[in-house]
Amino acid sequence: MAIHNGDLELSLLTLLETGEHYGLELAKALHTLTGGDLDLNAGTLYPALHRLEQRGWLRSESRPSPRGGHPLRYYRLTPAGQAALDAKRDAYHRWHQGLTGHWGNR
């Protein structure tokens, strides 16, 4: 399944609304929530997270892995990220209602 940047941003922000997560954890959650249809690779996931962090919508922190090995980068939503999520969610709902209203009248 292909995903567009706006959809990916909305998805990531929504997942991070529940609390902080590291990158691979986010990718696994999206894979599970889409019934396996969405399989993000690192070349898609990490640039998106970096963009969101540059906008000030996320903060990240590197921590040692609980299993040893490379440290993990944990991401969390900022207040600006919550505001962006609220705006994106509202825009999505208006778009969806517009389509539903249009096609529902046929």
Domains delineated in the chain: 5-104 (1.10.10.10)
Looking at residues 28-44, what average pLDDT do you find?
A: 89
Q: What are residue 58's DSSP bridge partners?
A: 77
97 pLDDT higher than 90: no
Q: What predicted TM-score, i.e. pTM, was given to this entire model?
A: 0.83
* pLDDT, mean over the chain: 89
Q: How far is CA 6 from CA 12, 13, 27, 84, in A?
A: 10, 11, 16, 12
Taking the CA atoms of 41, 44, 46 and 48 in sequence, report the sign of the dihedral they define: negative
pLDDT at position 101 is 75
For residue 6, name the pLDDT band (cuts at 50, 70, 90). Answer: confident
41 pLDDT higher than 70: yes
